[in-house]
Amino acid sequence: MPADLLATPDLLRSVFRRHAAGVAVITARGDAGPVGFTATSLASVSAEPPLLSFGVGTGSSSWPAIAAAGHVGVHILGEHQQELAATFARSGADRFAPPTAWRDGPEGVPVLDGVPAWLVGRVAARVPAGDHRIVIAEVVHGDHTGTGRPLLYHQGRFNRLRD
């Protein structure tokens, strides 16, 4: 097997840059206030009970709050929210400062305004996975009535869905 085909972190990143993924922002209430981050690892796990999952790096600034949170917010971003996605992806950004519009939602979870859909989930498990944890949450609240087409992440940048 040629060396350039062996599994490495760079190979994994390169392959997944070719995989278009929906963009979500995960939020939680931390001891020092709200926290959040941009995620492309969101997945539906089960309909009965309604479960979802996402990955979070244990070195991220949001991890301590996510590690302790009983509930998390999951926000599906629309194509009009590229700047919001970039803000929540940027290290050191004041993610909840204006122009970010948000409110305290169910279970005290920060809920972002203007998203096509959001969910609040009760954390059911945090599964070790390398330098990340896979968080599994049972959906307890949500709203799917927002408007807008989904924001995608592909080839290292945010994109719009094309017909």
| pLDDT tens track for 23-46 | 999 999 999 999 999 999 999 999
Beta bridge partners of 34: 29
The torsion angles phi and psi of 17, rounded to 5 degrees, stand at -65, -25
- Rg (C-alpha) for the chain, rounded Å, is 16
Rounded CA-CA distance 62/73 in Å is: 13
- 3-state DSSP assignment of residue 124: strand
> Mean pLDDT over residues 112-131, rounded?
97
- 3-state DSSP assignment of residue 131: coil
Band (pLDDT 50/70/90 cuts) for residue 158 is: very high
CB 47 within 8 A of CB 134: no
Rounded CA-CA distance 118/142 in Å is: 5
pLDDT of residue 3: 66
